[in-house]
Amino acid sequence: MFGIIGLVLLFACVFGVFVAHGGDLSPIIHAAPSELGIILGAGISAMLIGNDIGTVKGVAAGFGKVFSGSKWKKQDFLDVIFLVSKLMKILRVDGPVALESHVESPEASAIFGEYPKILKDHAILHLITDTVRLMVISSGNLNAYAVEEVMDAAIKEHMNHANHPAHAMASLAGALPALGIVACVLGVVKTMGAIDQPPTVLGGLIGSALVGTFIGVFLAYGIVEPMAGRLAQVIKEEGQMYHVVKQLIVATLHGHPQPLVIEAARVAIGEHNQPSFGEVFDGLRGK
Give the model's pLDDT for residue 148: 93
Give the model's pLDDT for residue 140: 62
Distance spanning both ends of the chain, measured CA to CA: 35
Give the model's pLDDT for residue 51: 92
Asked if the structure places residue 9 within a domain, the reply is: no
Report the alpha-carbon distance of residue 117 to residue 125 in Å, rounded. 10
For a pLDDT cut of 70, what percent of the chain falls above it? 98
* Model confidence, pTM: 0.86
Asked if the structure places residue 21 within a domain, the reply is: no
State the average pLDDT over residues 12-20.
90
Asked if the structure places residue 86 within a domain, the reply is: yes
Cβ–Cβ under 8 Å, residues 79 and 117: yes
**Structural domain total, the chain:** 1
* DSSP sequence for the chain: -HHHHHHHHHHIIIIIHHHHTT---HHHHHHHHHHHHHHHHHHHHHHHHHS-HHHHHHHHHHHHHHHH--S--HHHHHHHHHHHHHHHHHHHHH-GGGGHHHHH-GGG-HHHHT-HHHHH-HHHHHHHHHHHHHHHHTTT---HHHHHHHHHHHHHHHHHHHTHHHHHHHHHHHHHHHHHHHHHHHHHHHHHTTTTS-HHHHHHHHHHHHHHHHHHHHIIIIIIHHHHHHHHHHHHHHHHHHHHHHHHHHHHHTT--HHHHHHHHHTTS-TTTPPPHHHHHHHHHT-
For the chain, give the mean pLDDT: 89
Asked if the structure places residue 95 within a domain, the reply is: yes
Residue 287 has pLDDT above 70, yes or no: no
For a pLDDT cut of 90, what percent of the chain falls above it? 59
Asked if the structure places residue 19 within a domain, the reply is: no
Give the model's pLDDT for residue 151: 94
Report the alpha-carbon distance of residue 215 to residue 34 in Å, rounded. 11
Asked if the structure places residue 66 within a domain, the reply is: yes
* CA angle, 124 then 129 then 132, to 5°: 125
Residue 1 has pLDDT above 80, yes or no: no
Asked if the structure places residue 7 within a domain, the reply is: no
Query: Distances from the Cα of 248 to the Cαs of 224, 258, 264, 269, 286, in angstroms?
Result: 37, 9, 7, 12, 19
Range of the domain at 92: 31-287
pLDDT in tens, 45-102: 999 999 999 999 999 999 889 999 999 999 999 999 999 999 998 888 888 888 888 9
Higher pLDDT, 277 or 233: 233
pLDDT in tens, 166-223: 999 999 999 999 999 998 888 888 877 777 777 777 677 787 788 889 999 999 999 9
Give the model's pLDDT for residue 125: 95
